[in-house]
């Protein structure tokens, strides 16, 4: 707990449970403003124990939640995006590497199971029954029914994700040697190994030889970034990939527009734009995020129009973590409280 006016830690709670927060707030009825993140437990606890206080949602968390909602929208469309960016025609297993052939065989088995789940859903079978019949978890079944489990080659997050546009720009400029690509990235701040970049260059050369589209292996995070923060500063190749994406999934354009308007609203500090934004976003793929904003509308409106935020709280949390590491994570709460609340 931090006093935002004095910028001091005033208490350290033993856990983040709702009842713990309620008890603390009831012991401190003088609280007038509560700045918090958007966790439902904190909001409910503040409403119950301190109804007189004004709640303020943290602005950084609002921006982060909006970006996460857009990333989830992109991920929900990844099967369609991969088909749009993939080479035309069926995959020829003879052209695949040994690792890709293993993924291809797994894809065949996965698709057979997906078709079974979709057939059962078409017959009206409940998800819990489908889980018992197929031996697949309910979470996976929901992914299948939402179209989120049909990727041929599933790509994991890589250290190169944040540098994909730079790599494409260097590649298109004529730099085709993995070691030289790695040296250029390293000079720009890349901390990964030479092997990762060399393997990327090898795959890129093979894809060009086979006529594959360079954007087919992009991750959802890279696509979301290229459609938002880097769409005006990316390479020509990025612009071409974005054009394909926007044509294949126009729903992402409206979601991106809703995201842009949300950012503009937060930066303009104009709370009068909140209700129109909620109505507009409810018709896009950010509808779930908009519903959460509407449920927490008073706190979000206060975040737009008031100067309070919990940025300094995050700094105190980092300090607490550093203190815990100094004591190998074995300090009890009384010692942590004594060190955290000690005069500087």
In the prediction, which pLDDT does 32 show? 92
Shared domain for 12 and 99, answered yes or no, is no
Please give the tally of structural domains in the chain. 3
* Within-domain flag for 198: yes
* Within-domain flag for 262: no
* Within-domain flag for 258: no
Shared domain for 317 and 169, answered yes or no, is no
Instruction: Answer with the one of 214, 248, 282 that is the final residue of a domain.
Output: 248
- Average pLDDT on 211-234 reads 69
C-alpha to C-alpha distance for 297 and 320, rounded to whole angstroms? 31
What is the percent of the chain with per-residue pLDDT over 70, rounded to a whole number?
85
Reply yes or no on whether the pLDDT at 23 is more than 90.
yes
In the prediction, which pLDDT does 111 show? 84
Residue 271, burial from CB neighbour count under 10 angstroms (0-12, 13-18, 19+) = middle
Question: Which of 215, 73, 70, 236 has the alpha carbon at shortest distance from 155?
Answer: 215
Shared domain for 82 and 227, answered yes or no, is yes
Reply yes or no on whether the pLDDT at 273 is more than 90.
yes
- Average pLDDT on 290-298 reads 93
DSSP string, 74-93: HHHTHHHHHHHHSPSS---G
Residue 182: pLDDT band (50, 70, 90) is very high
For 85-95, what is each residue's pLDDT tens digit? 765 555 566 65
DSSP string, 157-196: P-TTGGGHHHHHHHHHTT---HHHHHHHHHHTT--S-HHH
Reply yes or no on whether the pLDDT at 211 is more than 80.
no
Shared domain for 82 and 177, answered yes or no, is yes
- Domain that residue 15 falls in: 1-72+269-344
* Within-domain flag for 254: no
What is the percent of the chain with per-residue pLDDT over 90, rounded to a whole number?
37
In the prediction, which pLDDT does 150 show? 59
166-179 burial, b if ≥16 CB within 10 A, otherwise e? bbbebbeeeeeebe
Reply yes or no on whether the pLDDT at 232 is more than 80.
no
Shared domain for 83 and 191, answered yes or no, is yes
Question: Which of 98, 63, 73 has the alpha carbon at shortest distance from 260?
Answer: 63
- C-alpha of 322 from chain center: 26
C-alpha separations of 36 from 4, 180, 275, 300 in Å = 11, 47, 21, 11
In the prediction, which pLDDT does 26 show? 93
- What mean pLDDT is reported for the chain? 84
* Within-domain flag for 142: yes
* Within-domain flag for 236: yes
Structure tokens at 13: 């709670």
Shared domain for 82 and 63, answered yes or no, is no
Instruction: Answer with the one of 116, 136, 151 that is the final residue of a domain.
Output: 151
In the prediction, which pLDDT does 40 show? 73
In the prediction, which pLDDT does 157 show? 56
Instruction: Answer with the one of 107, 129, 151 that is the final residue of a domain.
Output: 151
Shared domain for 163 and 146, answered yes or no, is no
- Average pLDDT on 213-229 reads 72
Shared domain for 324 and 226, answered yes or no, is no
The CA-based angle 253-260-41, given to 5 degrees, is 105
* Within-domain flag for 264: no
In the prediction, which pLDDT does 340 show? 86
Contacts of 138 (CB under 8 A, 6+ apart): 127, 128, 131
In the prediction, which pLDDT does 152 show? 57
Shared domain for 172 and 131, answered yes or no, is no
In the prediction, which pLDDT does 279 show? 95
Shared domain for 136 and 163, answered yes or no, is no
288: Cα within 13 Å, side-chain hemisphere: 9
DSSP string, 304-324: HHSS--SHHHHHHHHHHHHHH
Return the higher-pLDDT residue of 271 and 79. Answer: 271
In the prediction, which pLDDT does 341 show? 84
Shared domain for 82 and 194, answered yes or no, is yes
Return the higher-pLDDT residue of 40 and 234. Answer: 40
In the prediction, which pLDDT does 207 show? 63
For 93-144, what is each residue's pLDDT tens digit? 665 656 667 777 887 888 889 889 999 999 999 999 999 989 989 998 988 8
In the prediction, which pLDDT does 265 show? 95
Cβ atoms < 10 Å from Cβ of 7: 10
In the prediction, which pLDDT does 77 show? 84
Question: Which of 302, 262, 268, 304 has the alpha carbon at shortest distance from 286?
Answer: 262
327: Cα within 13 Å, side-chain hemisphere: 14
Shared domain for 35 and 57, answered yes or no, is yes
C-alpha to C-alpha distance for 49 and 184, rounded to whole angstroms? 56
Question: Which of 55, 60, 25, 41 has the alpha carbon at shortest distance from 312?
Answer: 60
- C-alpha of 29 from chain center: 37
Question: Which of 52, 61, 6 has the alpha carbon at shortest distance from 33?
Answer: 52
C-alpha separations of 33 from 27, 55, 246, 327 in Å = 15, 6, 43, 34
For 44-53, what is each residue's pLDDT tens digit? 899 999 999 9
C-alpha to C-alpha distance for 156 and 61, rounded to whole angstroms? 25
* Within-domain flag for 171: yes
């Amino acid at each position: 707990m931090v006093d935002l006016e004095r910028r001091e830690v005033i208490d350290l709670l033993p856990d983040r449970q709702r009842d713990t927060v309620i008890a603390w707030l009831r012991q401190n009825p003088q609280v007038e403003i509560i700045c918090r993140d958007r966790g439902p437990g904190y909001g409910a606890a503040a409403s119950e124990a301190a109804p007189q206080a004004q709640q303020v949602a943290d602005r950084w968390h609002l921006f982060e939640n909006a970006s996460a909602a857009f990333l989830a929208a992109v991920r929900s469309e990844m099967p369609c995006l991969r088909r749009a960016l993939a080479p035309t025609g069926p995959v020829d297993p003879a052209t695949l590497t040994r690792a890709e052939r293993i993924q291809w065989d797994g894809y065949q088995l996965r698709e057979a199971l997906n078709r079974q789940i979709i057939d059962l859903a078409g017959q009206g079978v409940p998800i819990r029954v489908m889980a018992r019949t197929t031996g697949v978890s309910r979470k996976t079944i929901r992914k299948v029914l939402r179209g989120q489990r049909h990727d041929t080659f599933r790509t994991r997050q890589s250290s190169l994700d944040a540098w994909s546009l730079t790599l494409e720009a260097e590649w298109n400029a004529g730099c085709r040697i993995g070691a030289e690509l790695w040296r250029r990235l390293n000079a720009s701040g890349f901390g990964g190994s030479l092997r990762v970049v060399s393997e990327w260059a090898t795959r890129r050369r093979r894809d060009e030889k086979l006529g594959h589209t360079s954007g087919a292996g992009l991750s959802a995070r890279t696509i979301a970034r290229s459609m938002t923060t880097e769409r005006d500063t990316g390479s020509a190749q990025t612009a071409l990939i974005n054009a394909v994406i926007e044509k294949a999934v126009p729903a992402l354009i409206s979601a991106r527009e809703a995201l842009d308007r949300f950012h503009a609203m937060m930066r303009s500090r104009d709370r009068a734009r909140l209700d129109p934004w909620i109505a507009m976003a409810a018709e896009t793929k950010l509808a779930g995020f908009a519903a959460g904003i509407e449920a927490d509308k008073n706190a979000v409106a206060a975040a737009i129009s008031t100067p309070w935020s919990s940025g300094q709280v995050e700094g105190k949390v980092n300090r607490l973590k550093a203190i815990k590491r100094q004591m190998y994570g074995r300090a009890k709460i009384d010692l942590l409280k004594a060190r955290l609340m000690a005069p500087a």
